[in-house]
Amino acid sequence: MIVKIDGIENKEMGKDKNLFLKFLRENTTGGKVCPQVEVFKAAEVQKDSFHWVMSTFDTDRDFEKVDQAGWDLKNYISNPVVLWSHDYTIPAIGIAKNVTAEKLLEGDIVFNDKEFDEFGWSIGQRVKAGVLRCGSVGFRVDEVEFLDSAERECDLIYRKQELLEFSICCVPANPFAVHMPVKKLEIERVIEDDNSSFYEKVCSGLRARA
């Protein structure tokens, strides 16, 4: 997990979950987070486009949850960058399209062309080959809920958050944030025998796909 406070990365909080929890408790009023806190979770439509589940409400490896109803996508949709492992020092390797947040945060990832970005293109090729299939969200925290029960499912729930970027990565905090291949229906054979009955055409079509 990577944590930035007012734009500055705090490596100690990224390594020590308890330190981060303590900071949030001391800087939260009525669920509202006072400073600007950014958390980076060690997270087919057009040509080489890949449908992705970007975030879910599952408890992640940091023992946290992200409320899918709390996503603010307004700014991200205007700048839908896809990065490599939350690295802001290199240009985006692609963009996200058709991003929605209903039960899940999901969208279609389009990687850069090889002609101008061989690295971004190569990440897309790894995804295409199945070598990479995980992703991770980078977001700014607006509201958080702490859970103290001994039988709690997690330590906290991010209730409201602004999506900043989505990254392709090797090992995400949320193991359910993965590329979901979309099966496409293809016409294998056209039945042109007009003398056949509808039933015969259906049976013929089923045999063709068997």
pLDDT of amino acid 176: 86
Whether residue 131 lies inside any domain: the answer is yes
Residue 121 CB coordination number (10 Å): 18
Distance of CA 88 to the CA centre of its chain: 17
What 3-state DSSP class applies to 116? coil
State the average pLDDT over residues 46-51: 72
81-84 and 94-101: which strand pairing? antiparallel
State the average pLDDT over residues 102-108: 93
State the average pLDDT over residues 188-210: 53
Whether residue 137 lies inside any domain: the answer is yes
pTM for the model:
0.71
Domain count, the chain: 1
> Which of 6-15, 95-104, 134-143, 182-191 is predicted with the least confidence, judged by mean pLDDT?
182-191
Confidence check: pLDDT of 70 > 50: yes
State the average pLDDT over residues 53-78: 95
State the average pLDDT over residues 17-21: 89
H or E stretch including 85? none
Answer whether 179's CB lies under 8 Å from 49's CB.
no
CA atoms within 13 A on the CB side of 130: 1
pLDDT of amino acid 175: 87
Whether residue 127 lies inside any domain: the answer is yes
Query: CA nearest 82: which of 96, 62, 72, 70?
Result: 96
Q: Which domain does 21 fall in, by range?
A: 2-184
Question: How far is the C-alpha of 175 from the C-alpha of 167, rounded, in Å?
Answer: 14
Whether residue 73 lies inside any domain: the answer is yes
Whether residue 156 lies inside any domain: the answer is yes
Whether residue 118 lies inside any domain: the answer is yes
Tokens representing 113 are 């062309």
pLDDT, tens only, 139-194: 999 999 999 888 888 999 999 999 999 999 999 898 888 887 654 434 444 444 45
If one compares 33 and 184, the residue with the highest pLDDT of the two is 33
Whether residue 205 lies inside any domain: the answer is no
Whether residue 80 lies inside any domain: the answer is yes
Question: How far is the C-alpha of 123 from the C-alpha of 117, rounded, in Å?
Answer: 10
